[in-house]
Amino acid sequence: MDTGTHFVMGIAIGGLATLDPAIGEHTLAAQAVLIGAVLGQQAPDLDTVLKLKNNAVYIRNHRGITHSIPAVMFWPLLISGTLGVVFPEVNFLHLWLWTFFAVMFHVFVDIFNAYGTQAIRPISSKWVALGIINTFDPFIFGAHVAGIILWGFGLHPGIIFFTMYMVIAVYYVFRFIEQRRVKNSILKLIPDAKKVIISPTMRFHRWRIAALTDTKYYVARSCDREVTILDTFDRVPLPHSSLLEAAKHDKNLSAFLSFSPIYRFEITEGEELSEVRFIDLRYRTNGYYPFVAVVHLDKELNIVNSYTGWIFSEEKLRKKLQIVPG
């Protein structure tokens, strides 16, 4: 989920913890757990700072080790251990348990996004992405904000947030059912599909779809349960060429390939400069595919420049690659 949603989830978990007598009956304990829950909801996303280095490092590592099984054990110990020093009167076991729940819940809800997490690392480095809930979901965020407002008006936070999470659980079930309907619809249109990737949007009945067969890539959307195929591309195997092999050594392209499960490629050879471009097919927006990896190489196959990330126009891409027009 996005940072804002994780923040309000931390507050909600702090409120939910008041149902625990060891927390709800002690003001200092409630304060400590609230702080622990908010920090626990933010801690796994500390790897966002990797963006400051470059997109390649961020893409390869975001939601990786910081969302792994060892990290889920480490973050609560770090946070509750620190808070235990600040609040020595608080029952440490209960403080740790609620902080642990906050961290675990963060990783759990991220699994339902299209981006996913490496939540079962080190058992497996596989990305777990169920693609049911958008990174920012207005209903989930709005429900949390409403619960916090009701808490501000004096209603019991434990009851508010317990009820809220029961409603959200039902919402998840409906999202899962909706996704299955979309998948069944796309399989009727493309019965020979080998892989179908369905990505949620902020709208309940709108989904992005990418599918592949033995010979084709399909990009589609589902709106109000009606599936429309938007683009079709021939599925061409990667050629054996010195140009492509040289491009694969680039850190940006390598990061892209480690992350993207369905893509097409374009190779443009020029006299002075050649371009290798890989295009993720999952995120078509207004006729444009914004998530790409581009590598430029000279005649000697040296990498001149490269980029991977989100770009919504060719002009901005040229700026990122520091290409002067003309």
Cα distance between residue 26 and residue 19, in whole Å: 11
In whole angstroms, give the CA distance from residue 194 to residue 207. 19
Looking at the structure, tell me whether residues 36 and 150 fall in a common domain: yes
Lookup result for tokens 């403080």: 95
pLDDT value for 221: 95
Residue 314 sits at the vertex; the CA angle it makes with 312 and 318, to the nearest 5 degrees, is: 115
Count of structural domains within the chain: 2
One digit per residue, the tens of pLDDT, for the chain of length 326 reads 999 999 999 999 999 999 999 999 999 999 999 999 999 999 999 888 877 777 888 887 778 889 999 999 999 999 999 999 999 999 999 999 999 999 999 999 999 998 888 899 999 888 888 999 999 999 999 999 999 999 999 999 999 999 999 999 999 999 999 999 999 999 999 999 999 999 999 999 999 999 999 999 999 999 988 999 999 999 998 888 899 999 999 999 999 998 888 999 999 988 888 999 999 999 998 888 999 999 999 999 999 999 998 888 778 888 877 754 43
Which three-class secondary structure state does DSSP give residue 214?
coil
In terms of domains, do 30 and 127 share one? yes
Structure tokens at 97: 């348990």
Range of the domain at 158: 3-174
- E strand or H helix that includes residue 82: helix 69-86
Domain boundary pick from 136, 151, 174: 174
Are residues 167 and 261 both part of a single domain?
no
| Res 312: pLDDT | 81
pLDDT (0 to 100) of residue 323: 56
Residue 147 and residue 28 share a domain: yes
299 CB-near residues (< 8 Å, 6+ apart): 271, 272
pLDDT given for residue 50 in this prediction:
79
pLDDT of residue 326: 37
Whether residue 236 is contained in a domain is answered as no
Is 57 a member of any domain? yes
Q: Tell which of 174, 191, 215 closes a domain.
A: 174
The pLDDT of residue 48:
84
